[in-house]
Structure 1
């Protein structure tokens, strides 16, 4: 079976972000492996030992993978992408949008009706991840 999953990069706050997403989205974290836990090879620099090498979040409708940037790789932020989530009901879409916008998130487009959904909004959360939230899709 072929599957496409998003893989996000963070700069030392991957564990915090993934725990937040699990709570907001009703998902579970299946893996949260630090660079220090990786078997074999050279041990990571002390600055990366507790950073996340691989995180795996699972929801019944999707999965999301992530990690902190590897040692020696400069963090450039998340650019040129948006994670799109679609909900059957507007209430759930509005709840998730508000949670992602809270605590320092930035709303790019407030939730409003569009030609493709009863509600759609765009937000970049406190971790720098851009989201497009759809509630109650319309027939196209």
Structure 2
């Protein structure tokens, strides 16, 4: 039996077709608290690997709903011709987001989950100071794996 990994945290990540901000405002009214992160597509650096979208769409938003769980989300960017060229379909618009404790842990988890699946975005350093990748495992489950580098 594989030893249980107690370091990584798993959080739900929901993708929307342009109404992410409205949905998260609703979730905030239900759960309370404050957004710990909100970024729009217009905030991306010019050289990012992400597609250009309607500038006011949500690139990433985070709402802590307990001491252990963060609800996260974004708007899809399906009007462009990239690997992100997909409209969110309800039923498969939720990913499990893993926050690893190190690059090594992120790599190990990413490689294990992608075995027999499909890599949508290889693990790489990103402009938001994370080591991040996306995949669909062999059972059709969407995963986002990240390690956030320490802030200087």
Q: TM (normalized to structure 2)? A: 0.46
Q: Which structure has the greater CA radius of gyration?
A: 1
Greater strand share, 1 or 2? 1
